[in-house]
Structures are given as C-alpha cells and as structure tokens.
Structure 1
Amino acid sequence: MWPKIVDWQRLKFGVEIEFIGGRPEGLELLPDWIMSLDERQIDETGAESGSELKPPPILWGDRAQIRAMLARLREQGTSANWSCGVHVHVGMEPWGEDIVLPLVDAALQYQDAIQALMQTSAHRRIFCPPVTQEMRRNYRLNPGPEALRYHGRPQSHRCGINLAAWYDIGTVEFRYANGSLDDDEVINTVELYLRFVAAVGANRNLSSDPLGLAKDLGAPVKGYPVPTPIPRWFQERIWLEEAIIPAFAPLAAELVQGGEIHHVLPVSEGILIAVEDPDGKLFKYVFQPPAADWKLVRQIQ
C-alpha cells in the first residue's frame, strides 16, 4: 500500500562495503554476515584485491554491527580506495510493489541532488547511471525489472537508484557513495537512504537542492564518503577503453546475445574483452589485433 507512513528506523537494510587489502578470507564475521570473495576491487598496482563485506538484513538499531565489522577490517590493514564504493539496499516490504513507480518518480526528481550530496567521484558514475523518463514510460507499459535496467553500455545495468532490485531481493539499491571504512561516513550514508525511502513512502515533497534535501529529510548535510582521485594509469585505461569499445561492440553482440561490453584490458596475448549479458553474467574473451581483422584467440572460462 502506498502512500503509508513508516518510521525510517523500522526499515530493514543491508550495506555492501568494498575494500582493498587485508585477508578477507580469514576475517572473523559476525553471525550471518557475508564476505563475497568473488567481488574483488583494484589496488594501486592494478591487481585484484580485497573483497565486499555485507550484513544480513538489519535495522537501524543494529548499526553497532557495522562499526564492529569496520573495526575488524581496519585491524587487518584494509582500506577503501578510488575503486571502492558503499552500496545500500533498503527494504520496501511496508509498501510492496506499489512504491516502485513513486520511487521512479522520486529518482527522476532527486537523483541529481543525492549524487551531489554523496560527491560521487566522476569515474564512479559509470557504476550508477541515471533513471530516465524512458524507463518510466516503459515501466508504465510493462511493469517489471527489464524496464528499470539501464541499457547502452554503462559499466552496470543497475542505476544509481536501482529499483530492479525490488524484483530480485525486495529492495531498492543506492549506489552513489564513494568507498569508505569510516564508521560515521558509512552510517551517515545508510541514514540518508533510509530517511529518503521513508519520505517517498509517505509521499512527502522534498527539496531538489542537495543541502535542502538533507535538511528536509533530517539527515546529515555532510560527513559522507569523500571522493578519491584515480591514478593517471587508470585514467589512461578508461580513455583506451572508451576509444576501443566501438570497434568491439559488433563482436560482443555476436558472441553474447544481448551483451554489452563491460570492460577492456590489455593482456599478454592481446586484448581482453569482458561482455556482460542481460542477467549480469560476464563472459571474457581474448583477441589478437592482426593487420586486418581481429583474431579471436580464446574464451576465458
């Protein structure tokens, strides 16, 4: 049922904390917390590093668990660099599917303000593309997750306010925050998103100005994860990737139905092309650049 007034502190949430370094496979976890060892980040040398830590669905009153786990990460010598982010899932159970379209409308009105408040690093915006009017039109015509997925080669089909997550796990996912292992920065981020979902659930009118939005919500106006500049070598990798993708796009479409290029990397044998299918699965191929046509060397399993 929507609208419906719900105390933001009674909303269940989860937080995905990305980090580099440490010994993630050996970290002692609180009950039901998960270390996603397949979710690796990039360290300063370009190597895969760290992991992603996340709790079970918890309430605001359980936030001491976040502080405890962040402390354990820091004790291992982990850190959050430019490749990391903090993603928050907020449960939508009190309203059910009725709140999906209001949240789409709220995203169209407030997503820029939230991104500005989060100071999302420019290089991370590829992971949180915007909700669009076209999505809204498609959702009205055919409600479902496909209408809410971004298309056209971001580096993720998940928007900054990812409402397709409702159809997967019953949440809305917020993807704007930069990486951080600071207790207050992570918890302030959670609070902003909880208050925002509760406000949309109650059909409140809010300011579209970043600071005005925070004040209307009663959320912190500062104290969120700060942006971190990327190293020059990674910026050059992005430039190369953007230049080479148009040449590989037809090949990606042939190899993976409905696929879009996720990333491009140089490897010893040539060029590695990672293609993401509509379900988010990655397929990796290595090509050699001969004088005339690109030669497919192998697929990486």
Structure 2
Amino acid sequence: MTTDLENQWKELRFGVEIEFIGGRPQELELLPGWIMSLDEKQIDETGMRSGSELKPPPLRWEDRGQLRIMLDRLAAQGAAANWSCGLHVHVELAAYGESILLPLLEAALRCQDALARLLESSPHRRLYCPPVAKAMAEAFRSSHDPLAVRHFGRPQSHRCGINIRPWFDIGTVEIRYANGSLDYGEIMRTVELCLRFVAAVGAGAALPDNPEELAAALNAPFGGYPPPIEPPRWFKERMWLEEAMIPVFTPLIAMLAPEAELHHILPVPDGLRTVIEFPGGEQWEYDWRPTASGWERFHPNERIQIR
C-alpha cells in the first residue's frame, strides 16, 4: 500500500449489501460477478416480504461506476429502499491480515456509537447491529476464536455493528450501521467513510468517540449518508409485542431446543410464531396459541425449515 495515509483507503477493496423492496429482482440484468440473493427479502409497507439483496464482487474505488449502473437498473424496475432495509459495507483486510482484528475491536469499543450516530443509524435497526462488548474483545484477545465475537441472545442479530467475523470466511470486516438507500451519492459516501475508518485503524490512529470529531479525524463527510426512515406504527407495535413476549417464550424454546436461540416472534392467525436459530444458522418455526393453562404448540409434530 502507498505510504500516503490520505489515499490508502482508495486502495482497499470493498463490497456492499444493498437491500431493497419491490422491483423484479429475479429479472434484473446483472453485471459480471454481481449476485442477487433472492432469499434475502425485506418487508414492504403492507408487511409482506419483498425485494431482495444485491451484492457486487469485490470492487476497487475506481470500479464504483458499476454501482451506479446497477442502481439505475433497480430504479428502472421500481425498486426502493424503505425503513426495513439496511446497507452493509464489507472492507477487505488483505492489506493488513489478521493483525488488524484486535485494533478493529478496540476501535469499536472506543467509537462504535459515534460511527452509528454519524451514519444516523435508525433506532429500530440497531437491533441488527449490536455493539461489540468489552468481554468479547478480551475473549478474542486470549483465544482468537471467531465464536468469541459472536453476539449471543438479544438483540436479534449475532453480527455486531462492526463485525470482524467475515474475516474468517471471506477476509473482510463488515460495517452494518447504515440505513438502506438506492441513492448513488449516499451509498458512496457511506463506502468512503467505511474505507477511511478501516484505513485509519490499520494505520494505528486513535479515533475519537464523538461523531463530528470522528468525521474530522477521518477527513470524511459529516453528512449526506442514507437518512433514517420512521417505520410504520404497525411495525413498531409488532416489535413492542415481540419484546413483551420474549420472557415468555425464551424458557419454552430452551426446553425444546437448548442449543438454539430465539430469533424473532411474529403474530399469526390464532397465536404467535417463534423462529429459533441454531448455531450453524439453521432456523425453524414453532407456532403457539394461548390457553387457560399456558401456551401450546400448533401441529406439535411439524417443524418448518425456513433457512
């Protein structure tokens, strides 16, 4: 890499997970190496699963025009980003190797909240990017075990907002705080911020814990990132119900599948559906209905694999 710190970030390859609703994702013409993850659907305004997740191959800064082409194609199909969508940026770590993982965790402990605030991460989406905890960093320092930085229990996602686990599979760090967007300028400002953040950590910079000071330290834009979008009232009520029912279903799930975690809860006709996740990522559904003596499962001999 060049010794010019200001330009080092441009030499790092990156990827973006672009979540969207609507459009016709199965028909979208893809540039070479691009992937449409048709099973990664979001939630539209009616509560239905919609859209998909679009991902490029590893790109360099000078390849960013590919993003504009694909975003224009999505827009032509009527695709959009709403409150259910996020934007996850992967930054390749090959220039640093495994030695950058601990500095990334230490940087997360110092300034992860500032980074989330700089990106204006929607409060309802913070569930999907829990913070790195001091105990995680300490456990990883002593073991270098990928499981040490896996988030267990609630919040819902096991992937932290600054997520180093992809290093062990694809050689990247994932930064998950940005809200969804199909706007080229907003996406590229987000990518630039993430590249500058990783380059600064790789150079040993001590980053501040204030959003404005962090932007200044990184020489990154202070604004212009994907704005937060307020979710509809029905979605917030669903989340309130889910949070209220977690203490009820956690012990029931522990009896059914001690090795699994409660992933989420949804209302269904006559009851509630719990989705549990096993350590390898496999998910199962159980439907429950209330009775005078407690909760009973629908179709107790039937389990539906959903991922």
Q: Give TM-score scaled by structure 2 length.
A: 0.94
1:146 match: 147
1:10 match: 11
2:195 match: 194
Other structure's SS at 1:52 match: strand
CA contact (8 A) 1:82 1:227 kept: yes
Aligned pairs for 1:202-213 within 5 A: 202-213=203-214
The amino acid that maps onto 1:66 is L
Other structure's SS at 1:205 match: coil
Q: Distance between the aligned counterparts of 1:253 and 1:61, measured in 2?
A: 50
Q: Distance between the aligned counterparts of 1:254 and 1:51, measured in 2?
A: 34
Q: Distance between the aligned counterparts of 2:253 and 2:94, measured in 1?
A: 38
1:234 match: 235
CA contact (8 A) 1:286 1:300 kept: no
Other structure's SS at 1:7 match: helix
Deviations, residues 258-287 of structure 1 (Å, cap 9, x unaligned): 322111111125211001122222211112
**Residue range with higher mean Cα deviation, 272-281 or 21-30:** 272-281
Q: Distance between the aligned counterparts of 2:185 and 2:160, measured in 1?
A: 25
Other structure's SS at 2:291 match: coil
Q: Percent identity?
A: 58
1:246 match: 247
1:132 match: 133
Structure 1 runs of 4+ with >6 Å offset: none
Deviations, residues 95-154 of structure 1 (Å, cap 9, x unaligned): 111110010000011101100101111100000100010101111221121111112211
CA contact (8 A) 2:254 2:260 kept: yes
Q: Distance between the aligned counterparts of 2:45 and 2:214, measured in 1?
A: 35
CA contact (8 A) 2:86 2:178 kept: yes
2:221 match: 220
CA contact (8 A) 2:162 2:175 kept: yes
CA contact (8 A) 2:107 2:206 kept: no
Other structure's SS at 2:173 match: strand
CA contact (8 A) 2:86 2:180 kept: yes
Q: Distance between the aligned counterparts of 2:29 and 2:119, measured in 1?
A: 30
**Residue range with higher mean Cα deviation, 134-143 or 15-24:** 134-143
Q: Distance between the aligned counterparts of 1:288 and 1:256, measured in 2?
A: 19
Other structure's SS at 1:289 match: strand
Q: Distance between the aligned counterparts of 2:93 and 2:154, measured in 1?
A: 28
CA contact (8 A) 2:16 2:88 kept: yes
Q: Distance between the aligned counterparts of 2:69 and 2:247, measured in 1?
A: 46
Deviation at 1:294, TM superposition (A): 1.8
| Structure 2 residue 300 is the aligned partner of structure 1 residue 299 | no
| Structure 2 residue 272 is the aligned partner of structure 1 residue 271 | yes
Q: Distance between the aligned counterparts of 1:129 and 1:198, measured in 2?
A: 23
Q: Which runs of 5+ in 2 are unaligned?
A: none
Other structure's SS at 1:219 match: coil
2:40 match: 39
The amino acid that maps onto 1:218 is N
CA contact (8 A) 1:266 1:272 kept: yes
Other structure's SS at 1:294 match: strand
1:48 match: 49
1:161 match: 162
Q: Distance between the aligned counterparts of 1:155 and 1:210, measured in 2?
A: 25
User: How many residues are aligned here?
Assistant: 299
Aligned pairs for 1:51-200 within 5 A: 51-200=52-201
Other structure's SS at 2:294 match: coil
CA contact (8 A) 1:128 1:158 kept: yes
Cα RMSD of the aligned pairs, angstroms, is 1.6
Q: Distance between the aligned counterparts of 1:231 and 1:60, measured in 2?
A: 36
Other structure's SS at 1:35 match: strand
Other structure's SS at 2:213 match: helix
Q: Distance between the aligned counterparts of 1:252 and 1:211, measured in 2?
A: 43
Other structure's SS at 1:134 match: helix
Q: Distance between the aligned counterparts of 2:144 and 2:221, measured in 1?
A: 34
CA contact (8 A) 2:110 2:208 kept: no
**Residue range with higher mean Cα deviation, 101-110 or 286-295:** 286-295
CA contact (8 A) 1:257 1:277 kept: no
The amino acid that maps onto 1:240 is L
The amino acid that maps onto 1:85 is G
**Residue range with higher mean Cα deviation, 216-225 or 44-53:** 216-225
The amino acid that maps onto 1:36 is S
Q: Distance between the aligned counterparts of 2:296 and 2:49, measured in 1?
A: 27
